[in-house]
Chains A and B, each alone.
Chain A
């Protein structure tokens, strides 16, 4: 039984192929301007990586993510909330709170001991609280995203950041630079601000351990550090955090097939 999960995010498209619920192949590709053609390419690459499969070899394909309606090869769709919970639970079965932060959205999901969604909160309206925020701040600080995260860990003092809005925060970062504030401290302020936005979503659904962070932001060590301090808990991060949504969708595809049989 081969299933696929295709996660169409604002910035990247992730494809995960599973054979009997075990990883077979995965690809990620920048979404680009034309989602449809990028999708075709990502899907073709995944099939190629799986040893030259074709669409007809796949038993069930589920689309997920903000652009899931665009997935023409999919048999059905599943929300990114459901996919995130299922995917995170498959990696850590102790997961009760799943925090998923992508390029343009952030969500906190509380799930049951079987990986089912109990409650969730989403931010998709405001760039502060999504990856776009850290990208804009990295640009203002003239460092790349990875460096932004690492710099944050070297901070020696907490400086407050007043602006919530990404547009205003850009100006504030420039002012802090003018005032000779060390970039390390600004970086920490950026991640603390981001973490406090995400934390307020977590509080809405109710914090329960274990906490798993997934999505592209889970690769940012500065953000993870700020989250730990904000939540006062340990945080689990899967090996490929950006694939967890696609993984969850592919697993749900397998679950559905199993139910039918």
Chain B
């Protein structure tokens, strides 16, 4: 019997559209495309309202990933690329979005996006991405005041969590809940490096630790590391977490506990914050260009 390898790190890719909005009635149709190192998102906004988006894995080719993401976001909307008034690219691969008129850093876009998704009271945004982690301070307009980031090391990033999900054969979406299902919080994994933490986790499994306990130990270590980054810039309330890891309650709850601060909730997908910010910038840029024209 042929066996298929299960890729536990693989999360669900999907697209979404608001059926109540009619883009033909919109004055400005703007879009933001966030090509990250691990995931890519395309967001389409009609007059500054979230209309449609797609969230998918970044392929080996950035321009192609950008094309795929926007194509999927526009699926069944009746819109084509030509209907978009202005597109802004952001993220690690932002210069590789061929149909974007402008590229804006993901720091600016995440702050702007978080302001839209969580409201103007957000002052600290923690963006936990696939290959980096950023702590951003912003004002009531979502403008960046200061930021700190780690993009050198996989510890504290989504990629690190994927490595652990694969090691333990636990689907990435279940990691968080499983890590919270422990009677008592175990001591955190002592290695910072993901490669060493992986060996350490293997050792714990061999000692007979159940998977949930190993995950708790890893999530605790990762949360602690991220809190150290936040500690360097300080946490001003209100506080929001964006990016893929914001969907992992095992990390969110532990960060909240360590900081003694609650993170704001949003009914929108936390992974699209950067693309939302980019689409909002695109709208403003389009309106400015019309004024000057």
Contacts and interface: CB of A to CB of B under 8 A. Distances in A.
Interface of A: 33, 104, 125-127, 132, 136, 164-168, 171, 174-175, 178
A129 B159 CA distance: 20
B192 A175 contact: no
Given A166-B194, A174-B60, 12 more contacts: A126-B153, A126-B193, A127-B193, A127-B195, A132-B196, A164-B152, A165-B152, A167-B154, A167-B160, A168-B154, A171-B37, A175-B60
How would you classify the secondary structure of chain A's contact residues: helix, strand, loop or mixed?
A: helix
B60 A165 contact: no
B195 A132 contact: yes
B195 A125 contact: no
Contacts of B60: 174-175, 178
Contacts of A127: 193, 195-196
A167 B196 contact: no
A104 B196 CA distance: 8
Nearest to B59: A178
A136 B199 CA distance: 13
B27 to A, nearest CB: 41
Interface string B146-168: 00000011100001100100000
Interface string B190-229: 0111111000000000100000000000000000000000
19 contacts: A33-B206, A104-B196, A125-B191, A125-B192, A125-B193, A125-B196, A127-B193, A127-B196, A132-B196, A164-B152, A164-B153, A166-B193, A166-B194, A167-B163, A167-B194, A167-B195, A168-B154, A171-B159, A178-B60
B131 interface: yes
B268 to A, nearest CB: 28
Contacts of B194: 165-167
A128 to B, nearest CB: 8
A166 B195 contact: yes
B196 to A, nearest CB: 6
